[in-house]
Every structure is written in C-alpha cells, then in structure tokens.
Amino acid sequence: MKRLIIRPGAIGDFIVSIPAVECLRTEYLEVWTAPRNVPLAARIAHRARSIPDTGLDLLELTGPGAQLLETLRGFDSIVSWYGAGRPEFREAVAALRLPFQFLAALPAARCGPHGQHAADFYLEHARGVVNTAPCASDGIPRMACDAIPRETAVIHPFAGSPKKRWPLERFQELGRWLAGRMPVEWCTGPQDELSGARRFEDLYELACWLAGARIYIGNDSGPTHLAAAVGTPVVALFGPSDPAVWAPRGPRVAIAAAPALDSISVERVAGLVRNMLENPRP
C-alpha cells in the first residue's frame, strides 16, 4: 500500500504524532508537513515534502492543478490532520473522490483538562485507520539520530508563546549554578536573540546535537519535545499548557509546572536537575 500522511503544525505537534505516524507505516510512506519539520519527517518516511511546496494550500480555493491531482490519486490511502477543521477543504476533497481520512487535530479540546496525552490521542486515532494487525506502540515519540556524547547541559530558554517562557534571568541564574558542575550550552530558535547561543536551521542537526548532551532544560517548546524524543534527560517547565496532555515523553523527563511560570523558583528547577544528574537511571 502507498500511503500519504499530511501533518501540519509546529515542531511539538509533529513530534507527539510520531507514534501515530509509525503506526500508519506501509510499504511506501510519504509525509507532507510544515517546512521546518521536513528534516525530521524524512527520517521516518520514505519521502517528506513541505506542504506549501505541494500546492495543497490552494486546493479548496482554485481546485487542484493537474500535477497535484495526479500525485494525490497515486496514493491508496491519505491520512490527514490538515483540513480536519475546514469544511471547505473536506468538501473539495470529497468532490474529487480522493482517499482521504481526516484525524482530529486538537486532543485538549476533546479530552478536557488533565485528559489523554496528545501522543496517545493521535495513536488511538491512527489505530482506527489501520484495519490489519494492531500496531504495537508505547506512545513514546522516538527520533533516532547520530550523536556524539558530551558532558554538557543544554538550556533553551524560549518558546513560541511568551506565556510559555520562564523568566530569562532565572534560566541565567540556573545556568550559573550548573556551570559549577559542567559546561553549559545555550540554544535558541531562528527568531530568538541570545548572545553566544547556538542556532540550528535544520531540525535533524539540532536533534543530533541535543542527543549528545547530558541534560536539557527548557520551556514547553518544540526543542524540548525533540530533546526527549532523542533520549536526552529533560527538565521541562510548564505554565498555561496542561502537562498531562502536552508534556514531552522520553526515558527521563521531569516537569516543573505552575499556572504562573514566574512562581516556579530556580531552587525547584535546580532540584529536578540535580536529581536527574545524580540518578542517571529511572
């Protein structure tokens, strides 16, 4: 079977969908996703493409071009989070008799507070698509990559929303405390500014770099999910998002959560980091 998966969304959205994507694997699997996620998708599919590059964004407005239509009709199965909440897109797809199956994109909206974790939600829906033997998965996203181990701590002090950011000065205080134990490396996203920090355009390169670190500390962000997915011990700070639904998953993940992030003390986070470093096994 030749299957296409269309998975839009931010880095974290893509990563928590990895168990579902693996469940939907077929003899040939292609993934269309947000441009930044293409290097990650290429590691778990036979081919990965950027959604804007396919012309899919124009399907409901102008109709599909001949090339797009031919491409879509070349798949036996199309599983899409893209367009799930857009009736016009679903109607356009139905009129073209394309083999689309739509999956719900927002688990928090359906599961409510302290509900099912997003990875389990997506995996459950993917299992509903698979009509053969059930796929075995523990719901933990994994991203294999080449890593060179180093005795460093990585801190990523940013997030997509300001509401998800622990105060930078507290990260800096934590960094000074950590510097007495090991070298500290800082990283940022493409739009963030922080003197001396590393910045990666390619997410697979970031994944490999994160995989080599001894520990990672960051906010509720895509790189935090990525660090957990490559197996790095993670301390994550959560404020407005429910960690029961959106926390990163991995072999070693500790969460510091509070409705107001600025109520989380440096001492509390340092305690989680210390415990992670002094107890290297779960």
pLDDT per residue over 240-269, tens digit each? 999 999 999 988 999 999 999 999 999 999
Tell me the pTM.
Answer: 0.93
Written as one letter, the residue type at 210 is: L
Residue 110: the pLDDT is 46
Contacts of 199 (CB under 8 A, 6+ apart): 187, 188, 189, 190, 192
- Average confidence (pLDDT) over 114-127: 88
162, pLDDT greater than 70: yes
Q: What is the pLDDT of residue 150?
A: 93
- pLDDT value for 115: 76
Q: What percent of the chain has pLDDT over 90?
A: 74
The pLDDT value given to residue 281? 65
Q: Where are the alpha helices (DSSP H) in 130-265?
A: 168-179, 203-211, 222-229, 243-246
What are 100's strand-pairing partners? Answer: 78
Average pLDDT of the chain, as a whole number: 91
What per-residue confidence (pLDDT) applies to 130?
Answer: 66
Q: How confident is the model at residue 111 (pLDDT cuts 50, 70, 90)?
A: very low
pLDDT category, 64, cuts 50, 70, 90? low
Categorize the per-residue pLDDT at 60 as very low, low, confident or very high, splitting at 50, 70 and 90: low
Distance CA 180, CA 270 (A): 12
Q: How far apart are CA 222 and CA 230, in angstroms?
A: 13
- Taking only the tens place, the pLDDT of each residue in 171-224 is 999 999 999 999 999 999 888 889 999 999 999 999 999 999 999 999 999 999
pLDDT band, very low/low/confident/very high, at 8 (cuts 50, 70, 90): very high
- Which residues lie closer than 8 Å to 66 by C-beta, 6 or more apart? none
Q: What is the pLDDT of residue 137?
A: 84
pLDDT category of residue 167 using cuts at 50, 70 and 90: very high
Asked whether the predicted pLDDT for residue 103 surpasses 90, the reply is yes
